Amino acid sequence: MSQSIDSLQQNLSDQSLRVDSSKQFTHEALPDASHDEFSRQEFVKSLKLHIATQIAPRNRDVYERKVKPNFVNEEGRDPRSRHEVRPKMAEESYYQFWSGLLRTSQEMMWESVASSVERQLPELVGAARESSRGAGGSLRLDGDLAVPKYHTAVDIHCQPGGYHTELTSDDVAAGAIYDRAVYLYAMGRMGPFNDDIGASLAAHIKKDWPELSPRRILDLGCSVGHSTVPYKDLFPEAEVFGVDVAAPMLRQAHFRAESLGRPIHFSQQNAEDLDFEDETFDLIVSHILLHETSTKAIRNIVNECRRLLAPGGIMLHGEVPQYAGMDPYDAFILDWDTYNNNEPFWGTVHDMDLKALAIGAGFDEENLIETFAPSSFAEAEAQRTHQFQGGDFGGGGQWFAFGALKGS
């Protein structure tokens, strides 16, 4: 299943997807799957796609034909926010059916991958220990780092044990599970390398700020490096760094990057308080990190970004859109994760005034950025819903990004 590093480097020298774009790329670090395990995983992926494209749209019909008219009759006005939509939709059997099915598919997804990883965990750990293949990357772990409570208090995304739990010495289980499961979660629509967010933002940066030639790039909350690698591909002369609080994720990230022939430097750190020197990065990015932290943590992270950015540098955080100005129903259906997918900070973060946040950190108002980056994985276009909705992570076909340029 896996390829030699020499063969892999040759195949990836031009990452124009000389691989089957309908399947996840089977790099060395990806856990193997037996026939039955693969079949179960593919079933979950197909089920999720069916839920997103065939079942979810009917929720809007229920809202428009029943819930909204009833609300108008009772209140004499349209709903003003998702908070007014939620209790009414929660009473509807169709919404209950969709929501229960979506949550069940999420639990099935983790189980279908976890059983495969558990079966071969000793081999995966051993391979990760020997993962220095000459690509030139590095891994720096900190056994004394305190994992923040916003990670330890809940199994984010319903992944059992979350990102940080270690079951054995040099554990990679959480990272290996995530590496495969994210492909299923996105229904394959983030590409064979699961890199659509990073690839899309990197391409957008290169297009909109062509004068930017970063020497050092930092990816915050990098997990297993899906979105980190594209920055090395699009900015090959730059040194690329990735940080995360979870050691199992970072071990998998290093193993994966080395197997892909990408020299990236990973370290176990909290993005709220990093050990890099002031003004040492020209580009700082994150990809769906902010909604997995707390309100206080986001302020600290943005403050750190400003400290670490060199003059003329750019900060850009990829997320799903903010709720401000969004139709109450759309905000409600996108907010499903807050209540049903162990994402307690999701709604709070998407209600935040990001411009005020950046200004409070010292960025100038005229240098603030709010933009949408179109998806780089055009092959998925026919399967997208072109909506932002619960459980449909890659369906929108674009990624919202918030950030700022640091003035000189």
3-class state of residue 280 by DSSP = coil
pTM of the model: 0.94
Q: Is residue 49 part of a domain?
A: no
CA diameter of the chain: 68
> Is the pLDDT assigned to residue 12 strictly greater than 80?
no
Backbone angles phi, psi at 253, to 5 degrees: -60, -45
Q: What's the CA gap between 58 and 389, in Å, rounded? A: 13
Residue percentage of the chain with pLDDT more than 70: 95
With cut-offs at 50, 70 and 90, classify the pLDDT of residue 18.
low
Task: Assign residue 34 the CATH number of its domain.
Answer: 3.40.50.150
Q: Is residue 288 part of a domain?
A: yes
> Is the pLDDT assigned to residue 3 strictly greater than 80?
no
> Is the pLDDT assigned to residue 322 strictly greater than 90?
yes
> What mean pLDDT do residues 63-77 have?
98
3-class state of residue 113 by DSSP = helix
What pLDDT sits at residue 113? 98
Residue percentage of the chain with pLDDT more than 90: 88
With cut-offs at 50, 70 and 90, classify the pLDDT of residue 16.
very low
Number of domains in the chain: 1
Residues 137 and 219: beta-carbon distance below 8 Å = no
Residues 174 and 159: beta-carbon distance below 8 Å = yes
Least confident segment among 189-203, 256-270, 393-407: 393-407
Q: Is residue 223 part of a domain?
A: yes
Task: Tell me the pLDDT of the chain averaged across its residues.
Answer: 93
3-class state of residue 215 by DSSP = coil
Q: Is residue 85 part of a domain?
A: no
Q: Is residue 171 part of a domain?
A: yes
What pLDDT sits at residue 19? 64
pLDDT digits (tens, 9 = 90+) for 230-244: 999 999 999 999 999
Burial degree of 142 (CB within 10 A; 0-12, 13-18, 19+): middle
Q: Is residue 268 part of a domain?
A: yes
Domain region containing 153:
25-41+108-405
Backbone angles phi, psi at 282, to 5 degrees: -95, -20
Q: Is residue 138 part of a domain?
A: yes
Distance from chain centroid for Cα 174 = 15
> Is the pLDDT assigned to residue 395 strictly greater than 90?
no
Residue type, 169: S
Starting at the edge strand that comes first in sequence, how are the strands of the sheet with 216-220 ordered? 138-140, 264-268, 239-244, 216-220, 281-287, 309-319, 398-405, 368-374
What pLDDT sits at residue 132? 66
What pLDDT sits at residue 133? 65
> Is the pLDDT assigned to residue 296 strictly greater than 80?
yes
pLDDT digits (tens, 9 = 90+) for 257-289: 999 999 999 999 999 999 999 999 999 999 999
> Is the pLDDT assigned to residue 226 strictly greater than 70?
yes
Q: Is residue 302 part of a domain?
A: yes
